[in-house]
Amino acid sequence: MNKQEFQTSKEATWRNHLARHAANGKSIAGFCRDEAISQANFHIWRTKLANGTNERAAAPTLASTFIDLGGDAVLTITRR
């Protein structure tokens, strides 16, 4: 199993945990205790999946600033 398949598997596992929690009506503490999962991980994955983020999407973005030097010249500065 490669890294992408492993990440997809983890996401599917946590989506399943969250769906079962929503369906059973238990408190988070009670659900996590019964499922032997960490409450911290429950909250992390609930937030991660609600925001549509995952580790593959965490790549830094580049910001570009364009400076008009007049005429036909343009200077581009790219920052990470």
pLDDT tens for each residue of 21-53: 999 989 999 999 999 999 999 999 999 999 886
| Contacts for 17-23: CB closer than 8 Å, 24+ residues apart | 17/42, 17/45, 18/42, 18/45, 18/46, 18/49
Nearest to 17 by CA among 52, 46, 53: 46
CB-based contacts of 34: which residues, under 8 Å, 6+ apart? 26
Average pLDDT, the chain: 81
Give this prediction's pTM. 0.60
Q: Name which residue leads in pLDDT, 7 or 11.
A: 11
Domain boundary assignment for the chain: 3-79
Phi, psi dihedral angles at 45 (to 5 degrees): -70, -35
Phi, psi dihedral angles at 54 (to 5 degrees): -155, 180
